Structure 1
């Protein structure tokens, strides 16, 4: 299986013609034909564009052994005619940008990495990114060390779990409640000792919404 086979499989998965794929990448149909026939190799910038559009891994296009075509030909048990085969999970990747404290507001620790997640989650929040949770302030909902997926475009509602920046620097993750002139950032922890952060209209503190938590997952597989 080569890159051309993987490109064909990508078109098949997304029900695209060669011309439609060419339009998405800003190339001619002839270029796609040559990629698929193996006459020329697809350039890295076009692979990167496919990764961005479809939330796939570069190896899904470039790898002979682990590309989309090879995955589709993986050995399958014998099933009776008419059997429905289980769908192959699709992965996407989002950046891990840092750590957020589930406790007192603190400046975020910057990390630069990528984390895989289900394609369906990423597809609904394409501008989202991961933060790693520090502290036990939200332990009833998100355990310490897990990755939370934050949508910066989603507007928080009363009861949403939001990441906010306080006074332009400190970050905190808490459950958010808003009244007429008051905002409450409330803990949701199994541990005692955490208190609400209450900000009223008379305070001089500023609050910026960084995003709403829409997904979480463990930072590593359970042993």
Structure 2
């Protein structure tokens, strides 16, 4: 079974039309048709999106995946139960700006993984300061909020610089940002919430790990 046949099988198992899948992936229905017939192959970014849509590992999509018969509880995907969440390569320095112009892509995410009254964004991880949790280049799903409980991982803007991802510890008027890294170069730093320009932008609720 070639990859197009697997895409077709997975799509039908989830009761999606070619148009449904095309809208989620932001491609023409003819592109989906060409993939499924074997006339063309999807690029890796579309394969990655489809693995998220179908809620299976990318390797299963490429090499062969379980069927709905194997997993009857598998959720059917379509436009009605998927929300497109913006992916940011970084959040510009200065005042936080979530404008569309900074969005690099959109990641389809099941509504069942999200709270209806919350806003979310994806952020690409840059660097190794949190590599015990997620590697450089991984995507993290972030709930927009100005409050993060101590011990949780947050996205924080410090002194107007680009947003940083760290474990947060808040005690009285101080906030400590704690790395989780195999590199001893990264050390925890403490800021005064009132005196320093520290702003919590959100809390990490999920990570999509990238493997070399």
Give TM class, smaller chain.
Answer: 0.5 to 0.7
Alignment pair present for 1:87 and 2:82: no
Q: Residue in 2 aligned with 1:145?
A: 137
TM-score (normalizing by structure 1): 0.53
Find the aligned partners of 1:93 and 1:205 in 2 and give their Cα distance: 35
Q: 1:84 to 1:160 in 2, by over 3 A?
A: closer
Instruction: Write out per-residue CA displacement over residues 139-187 of structure 1, whole angstroms, 9 at most, x where no aligned residue.
Output: 1111111000111137310011000111234311100001123210000
Matched-pair contact (CA < 8 Å) for 2:146–2:201: no
Q: 1:183 to 1:64 in 2, by over 3 A?
A: same
TM-score (normalizing by structure 2): 0.56
Matched-pair contact (CA < 8 Å) for 1:184–1:197: yes
Matched-pair contact (CA < 8 Å) for 1:57–1:93: no
Matched-pair contact (CA < 8 Å) for 1:99–1:111: no
Greater CA deviation, 204-213 or 89-98? 89-98
- Match for 1:120 among 104, 112, 115? 112
Which consecutive residues of structure 1, in runs of 5 or more, have no partner in the other structure?
1-12, 14-50, 67-76, 101-105
Q: Residue in 1 aligned with 2:164?
A: 172
- Match for 2:201 among 186, 192, 210? 210
Which consecutive residues of structure 2, in runs of 5 or more, have no partner in the other structure?
1-14, 33-66
Find the aligned partners of 2:178 and 2:71 in 1 and give their Cα distance: 47
Find the aligned partners of 1:126 and 1:204 in 2 and give their Cα distance: 29
Find the aligned partners of 1:139 and 1:214 in 2 and give their Cα distance: 16
Instruction: Write out per-residue CA displacement over residues 56-114 of structure 1, whole angstroms, 9 at most, x where no aligned residue.
Output: 87369x95997xxxxxxxxxx9x8xxx983434434421102236xxxxx779944211
Aligned residues: 150
Q: 1:64 to 1:145 in 2, by over 3 A?
A: closer
Q: Residue in 1 aligned with 2:4?
A: none
Find the aligned partners of 2:119 and 2:127 in 1 and give their Cα distance: 25
Cα-Cα RMSD? 3.9
